[in-house]
């Protein structure tokens, strides 16, 4: 991926247009002609900046991941209670879901790009592993007895919530309550 130089205004427009198109229409359904048209650049500019559609997809997912991690970290940092910090990613998801209504771009990318050697596949997979590891780190800090097991359960619950976002259900509220119950059951009693 050609990300060494700072992003130019044209590069930012390309990424913004591509991210929106990939999220709303699907990665494989969107071609570089459409991205160039939506971003107001030529295909040559797009290829000069990103090298290939694969690298553009990876750049878009990396940018999305940066924004997601920043939101989650802010939610964690806002918690005074270590038990509530463990479920902070669920609170971040509520904020995130206000503008991301079509499920998870990372799950979608993993489904559309099954080749583990694809640069975007690695970013999407690492995003999921980052969240699982964060859950374990937070569960450990909260004194949970089985932080690794709890982290995996919370990840599954979180991902299920993301997968059901497009449905007319409020799975996020139920999932947040269930996550809190799982953490409290595994955390030491409050004094």
Give residue-wise pLDDT tens across range 35-67: 999 999 999 999 999 999 999 999 999 999 999
Give residue-wise pLDDT tens across range 91-140: 999 898 877 677 889 999 999 999 999 999 999 999 999 999 999 999 99
Confidence of residue 163 (pLDDT cuts 50, 70, 90): confident
- Taking a C-beta distance cutoff of 8 angstroms, is the pair 48, 109 a contact? no
Please report the pLDDT score of residue 99 as a whole number.
Answer: 76
CB atoms within 10 A of CB 149: 14
- Taking a C-beta distance cutoff of 8 angstroms, is the pair 75, 138 a contact? no
Question: Is pLDDT of 4 > 50?
Answer: no
Please report the pLDDT score of residue 100 as a whole number.
Answer: 67
Q: Which residue has the tokens 């998870």?
A: 104
Please report the pLDDT score of residue 190 as a whole number.
Answer: 75
- What is the C-alpha to C-alpha distance for residues 50 and 57, in angstroms, rounded to an integer? 9
User: Between these two residues, 112 and 167, which has the higher pLDDT value?
Assistant: 112
- What is the C-alpha to C-alpha distance for residues 64 and 79, in angstroms, rounded to an integer? 23
Q: Report CA Rg, the chain.
A: 18
Question: Is pLDDT of 164 > 90?
Answer: no
Is residue 77 helix, strand or coil?
helix
User: Between these two residues, 35 and 163, which has the higher pLDDT value?
Assistant: 35
Question: Is pLDDT of 21 > 80?
Answer: yes
- What is the C-alpha to C-alpha distance for residues 126 and 122, in angstroms, rounded to an integer? 6
Question: Is pLDDT of 2 > 80?
Answer: no
Confidence of residue 27 (pLDDT cuts 50, 70, 90): very high
């Amino acid at each position: 991926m050609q990300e060494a130089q700072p992003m130019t205004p044209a590069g930012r427009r390309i990424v913004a247009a591509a991210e929106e198109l990939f999220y709303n229409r699907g990665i494989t359904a969107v071609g570089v002609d459409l991205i160039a048209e939506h971003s107001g650049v030529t295909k040559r500019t797009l290829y000069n900046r990103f090298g290939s559609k694969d690298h553009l997809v990876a750049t878009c997912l990396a940018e999305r991941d940066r924004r997601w991690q920043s939101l989650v970290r802010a939610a964690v940092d806002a918690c005074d209670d270590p038990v509530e910090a463990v479920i902070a990613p669920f609170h971040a998801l509520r904020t995130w879901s206000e503008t991301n209504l079509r499920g998870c771009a990372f799950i979608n990318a993993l489904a559309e790009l099954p080749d583990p050697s694809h640069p975007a596949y690695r970013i999407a997979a690492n995003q999921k592993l980052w969240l699982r590891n964060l859950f374990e780190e937070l569960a450990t800090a909260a004194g949970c007895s089985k932080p690794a097991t709890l982290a995996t359960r919370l990840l599954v619950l979180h991902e299920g919530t993301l997968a059901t976002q497009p449905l007319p259900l409020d799975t996020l509220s139920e999932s947040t309550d269930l996550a809190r119950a799982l953490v409290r059951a595994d955390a030491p009693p409050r004094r």
